[in-house]
Structure 1
Amino acid sequence: MTNRHQHEHEHVHSHEHAHTHADQHEHGNKHDHQHAHACCDHGDVKMAGNVEKAIGSSDVVSLPAGASTVVYSIENMDCPTEEGLIRNKLSGMTGIVRLDFNLMQRKLTVSHTLESQEPIQAVLTSISMQAVLISEDGRSNQDAAVAPAANIANASRKWWLLGAGAIAAILAEVFTYIGSTEIASPVVLLSVFAILVSGTSTYKKGWIALKNFNLNINALMSIAVTGAIIIGQWPEAAMVMVLFSLSEAIEAMSLDRARNAIRGLMAMTPEKASVLQADGSWQELEAKSIAIGATVRVAPGERIPLDGELSKGQSSVNQAPITGESIPVAKIVGDKVFAGTINETGSFEYRVTAAQTDSTLARIIHAVEEAQGSRAPTQRFVDSFAKVYTPIVFVLALGVMLVPPLLLGLPWMVWVYKALVLLVIACPCALVVSTPVTVVSGLAAAAKAGILIKGGVYLEEGRKLKSLALDKTGTITQGKPVVTDIKLLTGEQDTVLQLAASLAGRSDHPVSGAVTSHWKTAGNGTAVFEVSDFEALTGRGVKGQIAGKWYYLGNHRLIEELKICSPTTEAVLYALEAAGKTAVIIADEQRPLAIIGVADTVRESSRQAIAELHALGIRTVMLTGDNELTAKAIAKDVGIDDARGNLLPEDKLAAINDELANHGTVGMVGDGINDAPALAKSSIGFAMGAAGTDTALETADIALMDDDLRKIPQFIRLSQRTAAILKQNIALALGIKLVFLIMAVMGIATLWMAVFADMGASLLVIFNGLRLVKSLK
Structure 2
Amino acid sequence: MASHDHDQALSGRPSPPTPQQSDQSDRHHGHGHGHGHGHGHEHEHEHEHGHEHGHGHGHSHSHRHGHIDGHDHKHEHGHAHAHAHTHASESACCSPGDLTASPKAPAFTDAELAGTTRNRYYIGGMDCPTEEALLRRRLTQESGVVALQFDLINRVMDVHHRLPDDAPLRAAIADTGMTAEPLADTSPPPAPMPAVSRSLRWRMAVAGVAAITAEVLAFAGWHEAGLPVIALSVAAMLLGGLPTLRKGWIALRSFTLNIHLLMSLAVIGAVVLGQWPEAAMVVWLFGLSEMIESLSLARARDAIRALSQLAPETAWVKTDTTTDGKSEGPHAGMNSGTAGGDPFTRIPVEQVRAGSILRVPPGERVPLDGQVLQGRSSLNEAALTGEAMPVDKAPGDRLLAGSVNGDGLLLMQVTSIKGQTLLDRMAQAVQQAQSQRAPSQAFIDRFARVYTPVVVLAALALAVLPPLLGFGDWHAWLYKGLVLLVIACPCALVISTPVTIVSGLAAAARRGILIKGGLYLEKMRQLRTLALDKTGTLTEGRPALVAVHSFDAALSEDDALHLAARLDAGSAHPLAQAIVAAQAERLRRPLAPVDHLQNQPGLGITGEMEGQAYALGNERLARQHATVEEPAQRAAEALQAQGHTLAWLLRGGRVIALLALADTPRPAAAPTLARLRAQGLDLVMLSGDHRASAEAMATRLGLPTQAVQAPLLPQDKLDAVAALAARGPVGMVGDGVNDAPAMARADVAIAMGAAGSATALETADVALMGDDLTQLPVLIDLSHRTARVLTQNIVLALGLKVVVAGLTLAGLGSLWLAVLADAGASLLVVLNGLRLLRDQRPS
TM-score, length basis structure 2: 0.79
Q: Does residue 13 of the first structure (1) align with residue 30 of the second (2)? A: yes
Confirm whether residue 621 of structure 1 aligns to residue 684 of structure 2. yes
Moved more, 332-341 or 719-728: 332-341
- Residue aligning to 1:50: 97
Match of 1:40 in 2: 54
Q: Superposition pairs for residues 330-345 of structure 1, below 5 Å? A: 330-345=392-407
**3-state SS of 1:50 partner:** coil
Task: String of CA shifts for 1:627-646, please: whole Å, max 9, x gaps.
Answer: 33332222222233522234
Pairing partner for 1:745 from 795, 801, 809: 809
Which secondary structure state, in structure 2, belongs to the residue aligned with residue 13 of structure 1? coil
Q: Is there any run of 5+ residues in structure 1 with no aligned partner, and where?
A: 4-9, 26-30, 490-494, 546-551, 587-593
Aligned residue type for 1:188: I
1:139–1:18 CA distance, 2 compared to 1 (3 A): closer
Cα distance in 2, alignment partners of residues 639 and 105 from structure 1: 46
Three-state SS of the structure 1 residue aligned to 2:115 is coil
CA distance in 2: counterparts of 1:537 and 1:65, whole angstroms: 49
Question: 2:548–2:659: 8 Å Cα contact kept in structure 1?
Answer: yes
Instruction: Name the structure 1 match of 2:232.
Output: 190
Contact 2:251 2:258 in 1 (8 A): yes
Distance 1:360 1:619 in 2: 33
In structure 2, the residue matched to 1:7 is: none
Q: Distance in 2 between matches of 1:88 and 1:559?
A: 67
Partner of 2:268: 226
Distance of aligned partners of 1:648 and 1:321 in 2 relative to their CA distance in 1, 3 Å threshold: same
Secondary structure of the corresponding residue to residue 34 of structure 2 = helix
CA 1:232/1:644 → structure 2, altered by over 3 Å: closer, same or farther?
A: same
Corresponding letter in the other structure for 2:676: L
Q: Please name the residue that 2:532 is paired with.
A: 470
Question: For residue 701 of structure 2, what is the amino acid of its counterpart?
Answer: V
Q: Decide whether aligned partners of structure 1 residues 472 and 711 sit closer, same or farther in structure 2, where only a CA change above 3 A counts.
A: same
2:733 match: secondary structure? strand
Aligned positions, number: 734
- Which residue number corresponds to residue 137 of structure 2? 88
Contact 2:532 2:538 in 1 (8 A): yes
The match for 2:716 among 648, 651, 654 is: 651
Q: Note the 1:466-545 alignment, pairs <5 A.
A: 466-484=528-546, 507-509=569-571, 510-511=574-575, 513-514=577-578, 531=590
CA separation of 1:430/1:110 partners in 2, compared to 1, >3 Å: closer, same or farther?
A: same
1:21 and 1:474 in contact (8 A); partners too:
no
Equivalent residue for 1:106? 155
Structure 2 unaligned blocks of 5 or more: 1-16, 21-26, 58-91, 323-342, 598-603, 650-656
CA contact (8 A) 1:532 1:544 kept: no
Checking the alignment, whether the CA contact within 8 Å between 1:203 and 1:218 is kept in structure 2 is: yes
- Structure 1 distance, partners of 2:32, 2:482, is 74
Tell me, yes or no, if the aligned pair for 1:502 and 1:530 is still in contact at 8 Å.
Answer: no
Q: Distance in 2 between matches of 1:11 and 1:576?
A: 22
What does residue range 264-663 of structure 1 map to in structure 2 within 5 Å? 264-279=306-321, 281-408=343-470, 410-484=472-546, 507-509=569-571, 510-511=574-575, 513-514=577-578, 531=590, 575-582=638-645, 597-640=660-703, 641-661=706-726, 663=727
| Helix, strand or coil at the partner of 1:389 | helix
From 251, 257, 261, the equivalent of 1:215 is 257
Q: How far apart are the structure 1 equivalents of 2:47 and 2:143?
A: 38
The alpha-carbon distance between structure 1 residues 376 and 116, as it changes in their structure 2 partners (threshold 3 A), is same
Q: Cα gap change, 1:363/1:556 in structure 2, threshold over 3 Å: closer, same or farther?
A: closer
Post-superposition offset of 1:648: 2.5
Measure how far apart 1:163 and its partner are.
Answer: 0.9
Percent identity between the two aligned chains:
43
In the alignment, residue 444 of structure 2 is paired with which amino acid? V
Q: Which of 657, 677, 700 in structure 1 is aligned with 2:764? A: 700
The offset of 1:488, in angstroms, is: 13
Change (3 A) 1:257 1:139: closer
User: C-alpha separation between the residues in 1 aligned to 2:142 and 2:125?
Assistant: 22
The secondary structure found in structure 1 opposite 2:257 is coil
Partner of 2:78: none
Q: How much does 1:473 deviate?
A: 2.5
C-alpha separation between the residues in 2 aligned to 1:656 and 1:345?
47
SS of structure 2 residue aligned to 1:197: helix
Deviation larger for 766-775 or 432-441: 766-775
Q: Which amino acid aligns with 1:75?
A: G
The aligned residue for residue 666 of structure 1 is: 730
8 Å CA contact 2:136–2:148 kept in 1: the answer is yes
User: Which of the pair is proportionally richer in helix?
Assistant: 1
| Shift, 1:19, TM fit | 4.3
Q: Distance in 2 between matches of 1:93 and 1:218?
A: 23
Distance 1:274 1:544, change over 3 A: farther
Q: 1:268 aligns to what SS in structure 2?
A: coil
Report the Cα distance in structure 2 between the residues aligned to 1:556 and 1:237, rounded to whole angstroms: 81
Q: Is the 8 A contact 1:56 1:455 kept in 2?
A: no
Given that 2:565 and 2:591 are in contact with CA atoms closer than 8 Å, whether structure 1 keeps it comes out as no
Secondary structure at 1:20 match in 2: coil
Match of 1:253 in 2: 295
Match for residue 6 of structure 2? none
Shifted more, 378-387 versus 283-292: the winner is 283-292
User: How far apart are the structure 1 equivalents of 2:249 and 2:419?
Assistant: 42
* Paired residues of 1:268 and 1:340 also in contact (CA < 8 A): yes
What is the Cα deviation at residue 319 of structure 1? 1.2
Letter in 2 for 1:691: A
Calculate the TM-score normalised by the size of structure 1. Answer: 0.85
The 1:304/1:47 distance shift into structure 2, 3 A limit, reads: same
Match of 1:492 in 2: none
Match in the other structure for 1:145: 190
Check 1:250–1:55 CA distance in 2 against 1; reply closer, same or farther (3 A cut).
farther
Alpha-carbon distance, 1:387 to partner: 0.7
Q: Which position in structure 2 is the counterpart of 1:591?
A: none
Aligned-partner SS, 2:182: strand
CA RMSD of the aligned region, Å? 4.0
CA offsets, 1:386-425, max 9 Å, x none? 0111111111111122122222162222222211111112
Cross-structure match for 2:836: 772
8 A Cα contact 1:173 1:235, kept in partner? yes
Change (3 A) 1:16 1:675: closer
1:157-180 deviation per Cα after TM superposition (whole angstroms, max 9, x unaligned): 111111111122222233334442
1-structure distance, mates of 2:659, 2:523 = 46
TM-superposed CA distance for 1:757, in Å, is 0.4
Once residues 297 and 833 of structure 2 are traced to their aligned partners in structure 1, the CA distance between those partners, rounded to angstroms, is 10
8 Å contact kept, 1:307–1:360: yes
1:609-639 per-residue CA deviation (whole Å, 9 max, x = no partner) reads 2212211221222223333333222222223
Supply the AA of the counterpart residue of 1:20. H
Q: Distance in 1 between matches of 2:229 and 2:618?
A: 100
Contact kept in structure 1, 2:320 and 2:344, CA below 8 Å:
no
1:508 aligned partner, one-letter code = G
AA aligned opposite 2:375: G
Secondary structure of the structure 2 residue equivalent to 1:378:
helix
Shift of 1:554: 8.4
**Residues in 1 aligned to 2:648 and 2:677: alpha-carbon distance in whole angstroms:** 39
